[in-house]
Structure formats: structure tokens, C-alpha cells
Structure 1
């Protein structure tokens, strides 16, 4: 009831080191243990350490033991059956005996794993395509959002500008109103002064009129008085004569005797009375004429007074119109002067209308191009992480110019048809990092916080084995000029990294055909590794590598596209900065120009 597991062990003598399995040369014995635990679980141990069943099978395969093979042990009496086996069965048994079957099985397992991985890779590619489409959609939406955000910010800025402009215009109108109020006050003061002066003139004219009236009355009054005195005198004479006549009549009644004398006297008196009556009548007619003349003079005086009042009113009206005309003329002159000043100021501004809008449009085009190139660079950069070498400064004030970069980014392929061959010729060296000295490499490895394992090429220590010119000439003579070229001559690079480039590309020929590559690799005088344009490798030792290369040369091609995109990005960024440099000094000029233009429009209106 207390037993929970069963264990069985096999101990192998491992004293013969020449036949020892790989990795167990230092062990005198090899113990293989199998434990069966309650519940049906199995455990395998090799020399007391847990191991997977596949590792145990690999161990047996490495010493030509396959317990799963039915012919692992050939019993007595079955030799005839073994001799009668078919060739494939005999081959399988020989492979088991030779130990190569293990590698075949591993190859099959690896191929199955590759198929599974390839299936997953295909699924990932499909997902990536979907993600890329989604990413493109999101990028477009991001661009639209950025345009919307920029439009909103521009709208807010323009609104603030409009508010500021309205505020400035309101202040200007307030200042103009204050100045106009001051001018009106001055005009009112002048009008008050003119009114006082006109009042004085009116008073003076009234005094003159009263004086003239008095003189007229005095003149006319003297004549009437003299006439009245004459009338009075005639009246007294008339009364006197009447009394005399009465006395004569009484004397006539009393003195009948002197009737004839009295009749004669009466006749004389009547004649005298008639003369006196005619004189009185003439005096009365003269008085009537004088009254009529007085009335005419009075009417003329009233007309003159009315005419004088009209003249005074017209004079006041003319004075007010004259003042208004002078005011309008002065304002017109001031406005014309302001318009001339604004026009001269506008002409003095070194800014042309529409210049800023053209530059803004050009800047927007460059911004779109820069954004597209950045997206393209980001997309290309994400496809090969091994080319990017990121590190932090291992020491304070570290000179980053000592780190030249990854080999793949330090070269420029001269002929795009050789990209596949160059990528195969360089192999993993494309991802090596070039630095100036071994001390820099040591600092990067110790304190650079590297995220992946890297191989560093120090320029002062690396030893390159470039194909000698003699061998290059022999290859050219053998296969023809241009059919076999040194890989180093097909790439461009800076002179300071020449040693590293020679180390990577200096020992391989790039040939245009398989026959040329074969001749170069196996010729006794050359014997140099060669690569065809399709990526097939010929080694002088006889090793051949070739076959399908899915996406061969894509790395250098993408790096070339990335380099061109970065070059275009630098050019467009430089042009964008030039446009920004042009825009910066134009901003105050544009503001000044627009202010002056608005002032000119307002003043012209």
C-alpha cells in the first residue's frame, strides 16, 4: 500500500572515450533510469538528472541503439529472414547500425516542425496583412484627425486674431471718438466766441438803428412841429379875424350910415378871409403830405429793419455753413493725409499680398511629404529589427561618433541586381557592428545595455583577407571581364570603414553565372569562394549551397529603399526648414501689412 513508484536502471560502461556519446566523454558510466509513478506518469533520468524521452532516444541513437527498431536484436533462426529482406529494409537496418537514422528522423521531425512553423508564419502574414490594412486605415484616420485638430487650432487662432482685431479697432474708434469730441468742444468754444461777437455786432447795429431812428424822428418831428405851429398861428388868426368880423357886423348894425364903407370893408375882409382860408387849406394839405411822408418813412424803416434781420440771419447761416465747410474740408484733408501716410507705409512694407499663403501651401505640401516619408521609414524599419543597433552611453559624455553602425547600413549597393549575391556573401556579418577601437566595443558590451547579442568589429584590430589583385586578374582572364567581380567593389562605403568592409566583402567573388562561379571556386590558381547572382555558393572545398531563396536580397533592397527614403526625408526636412525660415520673418510683416491694408480700407471708405 506504501509503494508509489517503480524504478529500473541500466548502467553502461563508458570507459572507451572514442565510442562515447556526444557530451558524455567525461563520464565513466552512463546510467539511464525510468520511473513509473502511480497514475501512469513516466520519468526518465540520465546520470540522476531528469531528461525528456526524446533525449534518451537521441542518446541511444548516437551509439547505434534504437529500441523501437524490430531488428534491434536479431534472434537465432531469424538470420535467414534478415538475409531475404528487400533493399529498402536492409538500407534501413544499415542506417540504424551506422547511426544515421537518428539524423533522418531528426530531419523529418524538423521538416514537420518547419511545416507547422510555416503554417503559423503564413497565418501571421495574413494577420499582418490585415493589421497593415487596419494600420493604414488608422494612419489615414490619424492624418484626418491631425488635419481636423490643426484646423481647429487654426480656427481658434483666427478667432483670437479676429477678437484682437475687433478690440484694436474698437480702441481706435474710441480714440477717434475722443479726438472728435475734443474737436467738437473746440468748435463749440469757437462758435460761442463767434456768437458773443455776433451778439456784440447785433447790439452795435441796434444802437446804430436806434440812433438813426432818433435822427429820423428828430428830423421829421422838427418839420411837423413847424407846420403845427403854422397851423396854430393860422387858427389864431382865423379866430382873431372871426372876432373882428363879428365886431364889424355889430358895428354895421350900429352904424348903418357907414354901410357902404362897411360893405366895402366886408368885401375886403371876405377877400382876406378867402385868402386866409386858402392859406389854411394849403397848410392842411402840407400837413397831410407830411403825415404821408412820415408813414412812408415808417414803412421804409420797417422794411429796412426786416431786411436787416434777414441779412443778419443769412449772415449767421452763412457763418455756420462756412464753419461746417471748413470743418469738413479740414477733416477731408486729415483723412487724405492719413490715407497717404498709410499708403506710403503699406508700400514701404517688404511684403507682397499672397506671399504668405503661397509659403503656407508649400509648407503644408512639405509637411505631407515628410509625414509620408516618416511613415514609410517607420514601416521599413519595423521589418528588420536586427539592423537597428540601440544602446545607451556606457560612460558619461560618451562620443557616439566612435560607433559607426551596423554593416548593412554602412554600405550602398551600386548595382541592384547583385543585392542577393552580396547578402549571401556577407551572411551574418551584415549585422555586425563597426566601432573605432576595441576599447569602444568593450565599453558597449559592459555598459551599453544591449538588448541582443551582437558581434563587434573594431577598425583598429580587425584583419581582413582581401583577394590579392593577382587573383582578381586571373579570375577576369578565366571567365571574362565583368563576369567575376570582387564583392567589395560592388558596394559603396566611407573611407574610414574600409577595413571592416574588406573583412566582410573582400574574400568573395560575385559571378554572373553558375559556370563562372564554378570556374572561379575550383580553379587551382584562384580557389576563392564565389556567389552567383541567384545566391548559389561555391566553396573551394567542394561545398555547394543553393536552391530556392524566398525573398532573396530583400534586406539590402529594403535597406536601399530605407536609405533613399531617409535621404528624401532629409532633403524635404531641409526644404521645410528653409520655408519655415522664410515664413518666420514674414509673420510680423504680414501682420503689419494686413493691419495697414485694413486701415487703408477703413480710411478710404
Structure 2
């Protein structure tokens, strides 16, 4: 079967009907300039064969096959291929009866249609037709495209082996092997299932059924025992019913007699009650005539007097409180008077003290001035020579420091000090000698005691250990640096934090309830749904505003987007819509889908410069804080296209002024909106009654949540650390206290020890000796320093002239210091004078206050006397009124006593009446009770008769036969000798056991046991069969592997032979072969049991075999790859081969050789080759040339007559 003719109409660049053909049955070539439509002919062949991967034919959709995608008036694409089917050996299965086959494919309106010999056909039918002749367009071995040869030359050994397997058809073996391995896995699963069934079902069931068999036998025995006891209890019940009926009839007769007696007593009680009513009326009439009106009149007078008494009492209390307040004010004034007096006395003392100090300062000024004058006179005397340089008679006395002394005075002073130091040195040396002698005596005595007593060293060692431990504990305690007050403070702080946190949590919950629209409620749409990852919350909760003044404008800018729910992807929103159980309408904002129209920053900066104010406008997005890594796109979407303006005039320009270049939505701080579309909205939104905006509420809620998080972190962590340190502190403190107490006890014991006493004395003397030696060294150093100073001064006096200059300089220095001291003393004097004036002013002020306070105190005393007199008068009036009230109360109580007597008599009669009424009620109750009891007893008789009848109906046969034996002593039904209670309990227990066992006992256990045993044998048989089948499958797989290797070796041998021949034809004096990856064998030397894991291409030039293809040029590698491809095609031939510019990388000689190879090696196949090189299509029998004319491809045909003749020959 080969192509005879192709007809294209509207296909890609072939706008009009174009016929390509007739094709030569062997070798055809297509050439033409790039873009002229030559590859479109090859695409048309694949198109008709039903290729499914459109990208391989350079298309994305079916419309791409139509000329200019249907935009040039051509609305459909059609390709028809006529096949010559006269060679029946190559004819497809099922179509050998046709000498000619025409396959057509039409694309129109994105729909595809196939025709086979003019009749409609399915795509699968077309695929099957071409597959039957090895033309599978979706795995096209017959189609060799540009670049495929290079790919083969660069293939890995495993990929080359895969090409051999595909050519040999062993891929079918691999498929069958995979299916066999799946079957083996199923067999293994079946074996596991059988073993599991035996282990978990059959064996436990058999064991259970055996146990059920035993239980069934126990159940039968228990039922028999229960029936025997139950029959005896039924007989007892029947006998009890007969006995109880007789007793019930007697009780009914007694009850009727009691009823008659109660009715008679009830009539007598009624008569007595009527008699009591008559007596009560008589007593009430007598009471009203004698005392009734008098008591009410006296009660009215008494109430009025009592009110007056209360008013007088309240007045006296008020005056008493005022008096107390005045007295308290007087006490406070007296206290203040005392404090002012003390303050005045203290000020007077301070003034006197300051004046004395001022006098001392004035004296100091005079003394310092005199000292300056003395220095001036001394300086003048030394300068004129009237005074001896260094003479002590001319020395000026001043302060004790050496800075005011002359050199002569210094020399005298140093010599005097040296004498004192020498005396101290002698005294210290005597003390050291005396202590050394004492130490020798004490140490001698200590040695004698040490030999007699040994406990001291032990106690001393223990004392030293405890002291060392105590020092270590004190160091640890100091290192701990624990502050108890700090712990108390942190405990208080944490309690305060807990209270504040509870308050903030309550506030937060209240705000959430009040603003429920901010709460997004949903259920997890899938198990293990990660809420924090997929759902971020409402837009309003994902940012904070920088300043509250922008809250209203930002809320208007965001609008309804504030309530959008932000999710990570649109898939999450779909899940929530479908399975989230949403309670209200929700708009989702998926982060992977939202987009925005962000205003560029350079436009905003330019507008600011135009407006001349950097704070006039802001991009809304720049006024909020958010997580830039997560929500940058979201904030651009919500706020990126809105401008917030400071005034309405600026907002108007932002929205409408073309010069600013913004033309964006503008919102003022007051909430006025300017839309570039010409819509304005706004009004007064800043009234006093306006509550907080939604964003202000969200900001407050975020702040509360942040506070709650801080409460749980800051102080609580520090408190936890302090609590741990406190435990350590307590342990250390306890150790220190314990060690201190123990050391004190040891010190007491040591103090009572003679050896310790000696040691203490020795230690004291050693310390004294050490101190004396240190003092001695100090004094000797001091003596040395004084000697050096004396020697320096004596050397100084040897040169008188030099001494005079030095003394003058020294006096001048002293004069400067003295003058400074005079100035300082005068300053102190002036400051003291100012201080005294301030104290005198305070004294005057406080004396004035004291006079005012004294006047106020006199006024208070006068007021207190007046209030006291008024209170005394009120008390006297109150006393007189109290006497009147008491007399009225006595008279009222007398009248009330008489009234009480009448009332008591009436009350006594009422009590008697109540008792009679109570008795009558009890009698009536008893009558009613008797009536019901008689009915109940009669019902009991009826019920007993009914129950007897039921027993007879249920057990009538044996009851009628045995009832004469019931209750007879010594018989089967001797109820007197039976323990009925125990029998009832046993019967109850047996019944429960029977009932319980009846639920679990399987009466079919015997039958089921045999069935399970049979099933067990059947499963063992199945298990043996499955094992046998598995072994057979494994044997077959091993045979398939062996056959596959044999087929591969045959294919390897044949392809290898063709590979070498074709390569030597394409490249003279060269050879090529395929060697195995494991062992590098060729087909001649390979062992029979070799399992191929990969094949490598080896190339020979002359007598030298190249190790790798990297040593070859690009053209040589392409020839090797093409040779292998042609060898594979020759091993498994198809009726048609298509080559698309496979010679692009080859030179002309190699291209011509390819044509020769095709002519020589593929005599029974049709080749259609696209090439641009003459060497290729010069060997073709028919040459098609494509041209692109006026936007449409055309095709011309030419026959290569010489080649045609050569072929015929």
C-alpha cells in the first residue's frame, strides 16, 4: 500500500484545491524555499492518519489547520489521500478486497469528520486501519523529523536498547510479563486472604462453636431446673391467692362497721360548732360596748405624740452633730495653732542661729582680711631686706596645711613630727617584744593540753567545714541576687495583669458580639483542613490604620471589600462554597486570583509637586500597615487605586484635573467622594453623634488582642523565673540559718574548752603582734619621709638668695589663696543675709496666720456655747414630752389588756372550733379512705380471681390435677417447709441466666460447626491450587524472559548487520556496530546467556575503533544516528516512510549517499522526503517543488527520468 495522490483544500497555506501527485511508489522528494508549504504536505498526511498531538504538526487547535484560521473567507480544511492497495501483501486487514483506498478528513467549526472511500468513519477505525500496516501516527516510527537523528546519536545505552526492543516487538513480552506479575501479586493477596480467613475467621469460629456446644448443654440443664422451681412458685402463688381472698372478705366487713361509727360522730361535731358560733357573737358585742372605741382613740393620740417625740429627738441629734463638728473644728484649729506656734518658735531659733552664723562669717572675713595684710607685710619685709629669710618670728600663721607655711615653719614642723614618730617606734617595738614572750608561754601550754585532749581538733575541723559551707552558701546567695520585694511586686503585677487581661477579654468578646459581621463562621470542608494556612479572615482584620483621622476615608475607599473573606486560592473558596456550611452570603478574595490597578508612585509625587504640598494627597495603601510578604497584592486590590485628600478642593482636582494626571477616585478626610466618572457623594459625617468607624473598632480589637498576648508573655515569664529563684533562695537561706545555729553551738562548746581558750588568746596576740608590726613599718616609712623632707629643706637654706626668691614666690602664692578665701567668705556672708531675710518674711506670714486662726478659734468657742445651750433646752423639752408619751402608753396598755381578755376568750372558742373542724375533716377523710379501701379490697378480690383464672388458663391442666395437694404437709407442695424467698431468688437468677444465655447460645452450633469444618477443608484445597497456579505463572514468566532475550539477540544481530552496511555506504572506509554495555560484546562474541542491559554505538575509521562518539564530528555523529534509524526501519519495515530534512546537518556527498541507501536497502517501501539539497532529491524518481504565490502555496511536479530508467533496469 502506497500513496498515489493527495488533495488539499483550505488546509494551512493551501487555500484553494491543490492536488499533489501522482506519487512514485518508491522514492519521492519535496523541495522549496522556507515557508513555501513543503512541510505542510507532511502535516496533511499525519492529519489524515488522525494524529492526536496537534503540537507535532505545529497546531494548537483544530482551527489552526484552516487557511489563516478561517479569517480569509475559507471556513473549512479538507485533505484526501488516495492509496494504491493493489499489493495485497501490504494491504491493511479487512481491506484487501479494495485496489484503491481514499481517506478524507474535514475540519469545520472546530469539529472533525473522517471519510473512508466516501463513507463516514470514526477516528478509531482510521487508527486501526493504519496500525494494521505499521503506520501508528501517534507513535510514528515511519516518520523521521529534523533533529530526531541527532537525538538518536546522543541516546543513552538503555535508550538504544529500547529502540531494539521496540523494533523486535519484545515490548509485548514486557507488557505480558507485567500482567503476569500483577497476577502473581493477586495470587499472593489471595493466599494472604485465605490465611487471614483461616486465622481470623475459620479457626476462631470453630473454637467458638465448640464452646457454644458446651454452653448449649449447660443451657438445657438450666432450663429444666428453672421449670421445676417455677412450677412450685406458680402453685404457691395460686394457693396464696385463695388464702388471701378469704382474709380480704373479712377486712371488708370490718371496714363497713367502722364507717357507720364515723358518720354518727360527724353529726355531733356539727352541732358543737354551731353552739361555738353563738357564744362568739355574744362576747364580741360585749367587747365593742366596753373598750373597743377607747383603744382606737388613745392609739391615735399616742401616734401623734410619738411623732412629736421623734421630731424632737431628730432636732437634738442634729444639734449634737453640729456641736461635735464645731468641737472637731476647734480641736483641728488648736492643733494647727500649736503647729504654727512651734513653727514660729523654730523660725525664731533659725533666725537667731543664722544671725550667729552670720557673725561668725563676718569674723571669718575679718580674719581672712587680716591674714592677707600679714602676708602683704611679710612680702614687703622680705623684699626690702628688713626681715630675715626663713625667720620664724616673721612667719604668718594660717591654716594647718603646709600650703600656708614658709619653708622655715615647715622645717620646724617636720622636726617636731619626727620626734613624735621616733617615740611611737620605740613604744611599738616594746609591745612586739612583750607579745612575742607571751606567745611562747601560751604555745607551750597549748602543746601540753593537746596531748591530753583530742576533741578540740575534731570540733575545730567540723567548725571550719561548716564555716566553709556557710561561706559557699552566702556566696551562692549573693550570686543569686534575689530580691523578695521584687518577687512581691511581680506577683502584684501579674495579678493586676490577670485582672486587666480579664477586663480586656470581656471587652474584646463584647466588641465581637456587637460587631458579629467581622466574624466569619464556617465548618471544615475537608478532614484535616488547615484553617491558618487556607483562610486568612476578613479584609478589615488584616491591616491597621496609621492614624485614626484617616479611618473614615479609608473605610469609604475599601467599601464592601472590607467584608471580603481572604483565602489562599480559588480552590479553597470553591470548597468553602460547597462544603463550608456558610450561614450567609460571602464574597471571597483568593490571593492567587485578585488583580489591581495600582497608581504609580511617580504620578503621585508629580501631583504633589504640582499641588505644592507633600501632605496634600496620599495613596490609600500608604496609610495602612500590613504584612507586605503576604498581602501586598491584596492591599493593591483594596486601596491601590484610591487617593486620600486633605481638602475637597484638592480632591476635586485629583478626580477631574487633567494637569495632575491622576483622574482617580478621591476621598476627603470628612468622607466626601469624588469619582472621575462625574459622581459626587458625601455630606456631614463628622457630627458629635457619630460613633467609631469600623476600622477604628478593628484597630481597638487588634490592640486588645495585642495587650492580651503581652499579658501572657512579659511579667509572667519573669515571675516564673523569680519563683524558681525563690525556691533556691529559700533553700539557701534555710541552709545558712541551720549552719549559723550549728556554728553558734560549736562556738559555745569551743569557748568552754581550755584548748580553744588558749587558741583564742594566741590568735588575739598574733593579730595584735601583726598589727603592731604593720604600725611599726608604717611609722618607719613616715620617719623616712620626714627625714627626706628635712634634708631637702636644710639643703635649700644653704643658698640664701635662692631661698629669698623661693620664699617670695611662696608668699605670693599664699596671698592669692588668702584673697580667694576672703572673696568666698564675703559671698557666704551675703548668702546668709539673704537667707535671714527669707526666714523673717516667713515669720511675719506665719504670725499673721496665727492671729487669724486665734480669731477663728474664739468665734468657734462662742458658737459651741450657743449650740450647747440650745442642746440642753432641747433635752429638757424632750424629757417632758417623753413623760407625756409614757403616761399615754400606760393608759393605752391598760385598755389593751381588757381588750386582750375579750380577744383571748374569742380566740379560745375559735381554737376549739378549729379542733372540731379538724376532727370532722379527719373523719371525712377516714370515711373517704374507707370507701376507697373497700373498693380496693373488692378490686383485690376481683384481681385475685382474675389472676387465679389466668393461672388456670395458662397452667390449667396440671393446676387442676395438683391443686388438692397445695399446702399439704410432707407433700411435693409443702409450702411451709419451703424457703419461698430463696426459691424466688434462685428462680430469678436462673431466669436471668437462661435469658442471658438464650441471647448467646446458638442452637445451630452443631450444624454450623460441621459447616465451618467443611469450609476449612475447602480453603486448604484452594490454597494448594493458588500455590500451584503461582508456580506455573512464575515458570511461564521465566520462559518469556528467555524468549525475549532470544528475540533481542536476533534483532541485535540483524540491526547490527544493517547498521554497519548502511554506515559504510554513507561514509566510505568506515564501519559501525552496536556493542553490549555489560562486557562490551558485539553480536559475534556475545555469550549465549548474556542479558542485555544497554547498547553502545561504536564507529571504526580504517582499522581504529573510536571509544566514544564524542571523538566524531557533528556530521559523522548524524550519519551514525541516521544509519541506526534506517537499520531499525529495515528490520521492521513499513509501507511508507516520511523524512523531514534529516540531511540538514550533512554535506552534499553524504546527502547523495543517503539517496543511494534508500534505493538500495528499501526497495519495497515508499519514501517521501523533504529536503533542500540537490544531492538528496537528485536520486528521487519524482520531485515536488512548492512555492508561495500571493499568500497561497502551490505545488509543481517533475519526474527524474534517468533515475526512473535506472530503477526500471
TM-score (norm 2): 0.21
Relative contact order, higher structure (CA 8 A, sep 6+): 2
